[in-house]
Amino acid sequence: MTSKAKISAKTISVDVAIVGAGFGGLCMAIKLREAGNEDFVILEKAAEVGGAWYFNGYPGAACDVQSHLYSFSFAGKADWSKRYAPRDEIENYILDTVEQYQLRPFIQFNQEVNEAHFDETTGRWTVRTAAGMTIDCRHFVLASGPLHVPNVPSIKGLKRFKGKVMHSAEWDHSYDLVGKKVVSIGTGGSAIQYCPEIAPKVKKLSVFQRSAAWVIPGMSVAIGESSSACSNASRRYANCIGRGSTGVMNRGWRRPPARRRPNCWVPCASSSSACKSKTRRWRKS
């Protein structure tokens, strides 16, 4: 299987068609290549990879999962800037991963899938896109997340409103909110991020919610050098110990006595000084 989906024709035939170039679709592609299968295509409706992190660019957009956990297990990143990474940093991580695993030749951008049909006789799928492309494939993988699809409520009189209306998933950065009266509807994951960002700028911010949500103060502190060192030591430890004692010796590491082993090999949630005091570097033999 050697084709790399360099598509020029309107109809192509591949083994696997993947819908979406977010985390899920890219992971599928990476694992296919690792298994020796390069007969696949990724169909992405946007002009770039990233999925939800490409579309959601509202003020304060960030992840609500700690940075060191919000990454591929096989492509760790030890230099996250904050405990909860901002959107731009996550997007850059995705872009770097695409280049690292050389996935771009397999991706077809601006190809929104709008139809898929399975033929029980042949055991194959026929997939069509809004741009007119037809894909014949054996396996059809859906990695199209819903977190970027706007859910606009049906509010009476909304269409007659003469002010600016926008959804957080389609934030208009060209519109200046300074000095404006703003109404925000909903207190979900997006609202609790952008409201604190725009509140100091607007004249008045009114927030409406249907149901009360549990919200705690943001803890996206910057990761200092000590915490980063802890993460680096942790990753080295995980890489070695995951292979057992033999693997440790083969990699040229000498296992220290128990009293000298690091006790901080998970994302450090403690303060930088505490993390630093508990971290011990392994010595190269």
- Comparing 95-109, 112-126, 141-155, 163-177, the range with the smallest average pLDDT is 141-155
The alpha carbon dihedral of 243, 254, 278, 78 has a sign of negative
Mean pLDDT of the chain: 80
Q: pLDDT per residue over 218-276, tens digit each?
A: 777 888 754 555 555 445 434 433 444 333 333 444 444 444 444 333 333 333 333 33
* Residues above pLDDT 90, as percent of the chain: 59
User: Does position 30 have pLDDT exceeding 80, yes or no?
Assistant: yes
Backbone φ/ψ region at 185: left (φ over 0), alpha (ψ -120 to 50), beta: beta
Helix (H) or strand (E) run with residue 33 in it: helix 23-34
Which of these, 149, 173, 151, 177, lies nearest to 163 by C-alpha position? Answer: 177
Confidence at residue 254, expressed as pLDDT on a 0 to 100 scale: 44
More confident residue, 65 or 5: 65
Confidence at residue 146, expressed as pLDDT on a 0 to 100 scale: 80
DSSP 157: T
Contact (CB, 8 A) for 33 and 133: no
Does the pTM surpass 0.75? The reply is: no
Number of C-beta neighbours around residue 65 at 10 A: 11
Confidence at residue 225, expressed as pLDDT on a 0 to 100 scale: 52
Confidence at residue 240, expressed as pLDDT on a 0 to 100 scale: 38
3-class secondary structure, 62:
strand
Tell the burial category of 18 from Cβ atoms under 10 Å away from its Cβ (0-12, 13-18, 19+): buried
More confident residue, 284 or 128: 128
* Confidence label for 5 from pLDDT (cuts 50, 70 and 90): low
Confidence at residue 231, expressed as pLDDT on a 0 to 100 scale: 52
pLDDT, average across residues 31-42: 98
Q: pLDDT per residue over 59-72, tens digit each?
A: 999 998 888 899 99
Q: pLDDT per residue over 115-159, tens digit each?
A: 999 999 999 999 999 999 999 999 999 999 887 788 888 889 988
Residues 6+ apart with CB under 8 A from 22: 49, 50, 51, 52, 53, 54, 94, 143, 145
User: Does position 198 have pLDDT exceeding 60, yes or no?
Assistant: yes
- Domains of the chain in sequence order: 11-142 (3.50.50.60), 158-208 (no CATH), 225-278 (no CATH)
